[in-house]
Structures are given as C-alpha cells and as structure tokens.
C-alpha cells in the first residue's frame, strides 16, 4: 500500500465510525496514504462497492466479517485479504494475519500511539457486551453476571451458536469492567490524537 501509485479508496459510513478511524489510524501510524470515502449508508453498501471494484478496503470487526455475508463467503473464497486485526491475539480463523499490536512492536511505535490503539481497537476485545443501568445493587449484578456465564458455557447454547457460524468466546463482567476502567484513564495527548483521528 505504501508503494501504490494512487492511494487506495476505503469506504466508510462516516467520520467517527470504526470504518473510518480503523484505516485512518493504520495509514497515519504506518506511513501510507488512503483516500477514505465516507457517506455510505451501511457496511452492505461498502461491501457491494468492493465487489464492483469501486472501493479497495473497509475497516470492520472480525465478528462481523466471519458472522455475516458477504464476509463468510469472502473468507472461504479468498476474495479479499485481511491486512491486520485489532484484537490482542490472532483470531483462530486468521492465524496468518498480524495484530495491530504485533505491527506496533515490529515498527517500534510510540507509547502515545500504543495507548491510542488500545482505545480505538477496544471493540475487538469488548465484543458484544451487555449492560445494566446505573444503580443496580451489587448482589443483582453478581447474579446477572453468573447467569450470563452459565448460559454462555452451556453446551447446547454453544453448539447452536456454532451451527449459525458464530464462535462464542465469553468474557466475564469483571474482566470487561476492569478493561473499561483502564481504557477511560488516558492522558491528554492520547485524547487529542483520538479527536484528530475521529474528526479528520
């Protein structure tokens, strides 16, 4: 991508969305140019543009890629190539695709950029969290968390999810809460960089 005669076109639904900041962050951090084209109504419109050859890239989640069409078909046929993934570990279905963290280590990227990546790519680690409103008593939170993990570890539930092409990998409420607290504690320079990327 660094050697492209013309910057690749990357479809996005709008500034401030993952489809916009994912590729913008990668381009800014690793030194290549992208022509990000916002304004698509949704991922299906960008996917169609990619199939027509009008767009060259899209920044989305691993869950969406493997969990819906046309991502599932693209993964099977090799129609697209996944360049990087945002999770802390390589996804089992993308064993040869480096994580952003591996690339950051390889290129010796600054601590501020590393912290920014941690915030921007948190959705890959958070997955699809469920929330309760503020003020729920601690004993009820504990019961809800326990019930959720019991359901998510039920053999019939996981088997049904896998039949639908999903790969359940639940995290505990305690782990997600700790992650969110850590994400919220960022120095001013990270906030400024984040504003720049989200508003670019």
Give pLDDT tens digits for 142-169: 999 999 999 999 999 999 988 887 778 8
Domains defined along the chain, listed by start: 9-109 (3.40.190.10), 128-170 (no CATH)
**What is the predicted pLDDT for the residue at 200?**
59
Residue 68 has φ and ψ, to the nearest 5°, of: -150, 170
Average pLDDT score, the chain? 89
Cβ-defined contacts of 127-134 (< 8 Å, 24+): 127/63, 127/169, 127/171, 128/63, 129/176
Residue 74 has φ and ψ, to the nearest 5°, of: -60, -40
Residue 58 has φ and ψ, to the nearest 5°, of: -155, 135
Instruction: Give the separation between CA 144 and CA 140, rounded to whole angstroms.
Output: 6
- As a whole number, mean pLDDT of residues 54-79 equals 90
* pLDDT tens string 19-51: 888 898 999 899 889 999 999 998 999 999 999
CB 86 within 8 A of CB 99: yes
**What is the predicted pLDDT for the residue at 141?**
95
């Amino acid at each position: 991508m660094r050697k492209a005669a013309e910057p690749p076109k990357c479809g996005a639904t709008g500034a401030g969305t993952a489809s916009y900041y994912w590729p913008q962050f990668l381009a800014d951090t690793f030194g290549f140019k992208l022509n990000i084209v916002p304004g698509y109504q949704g991922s299906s419109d960008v996917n169609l543009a990619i199939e027509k050859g009008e767009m060259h890239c899209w920044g989305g989640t691993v869950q969406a890629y493997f969990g819906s069409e046309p991502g599932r078909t693209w993964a099977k046929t090799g129609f697209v190539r996944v360049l990087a993934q945002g999770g802390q570990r390589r996804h089992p279905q993308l064993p040869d695709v480096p994580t952003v963290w591996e690339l950051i280590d390889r290129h010796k990227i600054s601590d501020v950029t590393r912290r920014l990546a941690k915030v921007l790519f948190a959705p890959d680690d958070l997955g699809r969290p469920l929330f309760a409103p503020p003020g729920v008593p601690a004993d009820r939170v504990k019961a809800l968390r326990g019930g959720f993990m019991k359901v998510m570890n039920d053999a019939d539930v996981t088997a049904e999810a896998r039949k639908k092409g999903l790969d359940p990998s639940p995290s505990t409420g305690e782990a997600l809460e700790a992650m969110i607290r850590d994400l919220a504690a960022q120095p001013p320079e990270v906030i400024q960089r984040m504003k720049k990327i989200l508003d670019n």
